[in-house]
Structure 1
Amino acid sequence: MTALVLQRLTELMAECGDRDPSSEVALDDSIGEVPFEDLGFDSLSLFNMCLQIESTYSVQLALDDVLAAETPNGLIELVNENLSRSA
């Protein structure tokens, strides 16, 4: 499976539809180090997004690890580490 990159993650984030509509931060390639909370994602929306990632990338992600990632770049690193372990 191809590694997860920021562009694909932002697409998945937009597809989830669970984002707080009051968030004013655009989901673009500049969000790598922006905390998920600032992007309008709470733990439930992260959980839903991770279900999509798990399905798309055939990986298993512990919710505690996802929450600890805190930023899109952290989540990308987590997913790609799991991909390399399962390869």
Structure 2
Amino acid sequence: MSRSTFTLDDLKRILLEGSGAPEGDGLDGDVLDTEFTDIGYDSLALLETSSRIEREYGIELDESVVGEATTPRAFIAAVTGHLTVAAA
């Protein structure tokens, strides 16, 4: 399914689905600028999240997204950038 927006709620949902973590684990509060490692998500969790986003949104994320997007805000911006390009 292709979508045109990607929000913090979308990221939280996909992170939780992929990690199997209890609802809201590490994602409560203002986490936009918190490092993923500080909220309990490592590079493997982010790789799984990227794969799920690619399938759900019909886009292909650069490998650099996982390495460079170290906070939810940066990850959302990277996905939004890909959605914008895909929509053009």
Structure 2 length as normaliser, TM-score? 0.82
Q: Could you state the TM-score of these two structures normalised by the residue count of structure 1?
A: 0.83
Superposition map of 1:5-84 within 5 A = 5-17=7-19, 26-28=26-28, 30-84=30-84
Retained in 2: the 8 A contact 1:6–1:72? yes
Deviation at 1:67, TM superposition (A): 1.6
Taking a change above 3 Å as real, the CA distance of residues 74 and 64 of structure 1, as seen in their structure-2 partners, is: same
- CA shift, 1:84, in A, is 0.5
How far apart are the structure 1 equivalents of 2:26 and 2:50?
Answer: 20
Deviation by residue 1:55-75 (Cα, 9 ceiling, x = unmatched): 111111122222201101101
* Closer, same or farther: CA 79–53 of 1 in aligned 2, 3 Å: same
SS of the residue aligned with 1:28?
Answer: coil
- Stretches of structure 1 lacking an aligned partner (at least 5 in a row): none
Q: Is the 8 A contact 1:10 1:28 kept in 2?
A: no
- Aligned length in residues: 83
Q: Which amino acid is the alignment partner of residue 44 of structure 1?
A: L
Instruction: Give the unaligned 5+ runs of structure 2.
Output: none
Kindly indicate whether structure 1 or structure 2 has the higher relative contact order, using CA contacts under 8 Å at least 6 residues apart: 2
* C-alpha RMSD of matched pairs (Å): 1.9
Aligned mates of 1:84, 1:68 — CA distance in 2: 19
Once the two structures are aligned, what percentage of the paired residues are identical?
30
